[in-house]
Structure 1
Amino acid sequence: MKIRVRLYGDLALKYSPDFEFEVPEGSKVSDVLRILGISDYGNHIIVNEKKVGREHPLNEGDVLKILPVVYGG
């Protein structure tokens, strides 16, 4: 099944800011993170505009956004 992945910050520079990604049926966010080598620590994970955890199941056509947490003041 195909999902859309949108990356921000350094992740967008390392990979691409927006791309389609083929994943097996029954995949979870953690599977995509593992394949891409991205830690869920220090990143917000959003699927279809809703903040989710790493064990969130993915469905055909989902949009997965990974946004680095920004610290500072």
Structure 2
Amino acid sequence: MKVKIRLYGELALKFSPEFEVEIEENLTVGDLLKKLKISDQEYHILVNEKKVSKDHKLKENDYIKLLPVVYGG
């Protein structure tokens, strides 16, 4: 099954701003990020415009956005 990923900031420069990947069924967001070697601690994870945890199971055609956590004041 395929999912689409949208990246921002440094990740967009490292990979591509948007791309599709083929994944296995019952894969979680955390599993996918681990495969892509992306930390699940440094990004807000949105699937289909809703914030989710790294334990969220992905489905066919999900649209994943990784937004960098902003620090500072």
**Structure 2 length-normalised TM:** 0.95
Deviation at 1:72, TM superposition (A): 2.2
Give CA deviations for 1:22-47 in whole Å, capped at 9, x if unaligned.
00011110111011100111210000
In the TM superposition, structure 1's runs of 4+ consecutive aligned residues that sit over 3 Å from their partners are none
**Corresponding pairs, count:** 73
Percent identity over paired residues: 59
In 2, distance between residues paired with 1:35 and 1:20? Answer: 14
What 5-or-longer segments of structure 2 have no aligned partner?
Answer: none
**Structure 1 length-normalised TM:** 0.95
In 2, distance between residues paired with 1:16 and 1:35? Answer: 16
In 1, distance between residues paired with 2:49 and 2:57? Answer: 14
Alpha-carbon RMSD: 0.7
In 2, distance between residues paired with 1:60 and 1:48? Answer: 11
1:27 matched residue in structure 2: 27
Task: State the SS of the aligned residue for 1:55.
Answer: coil
Answering whether residue 65 of structure 2 is matched by residue 65 of structure 1, we say yes
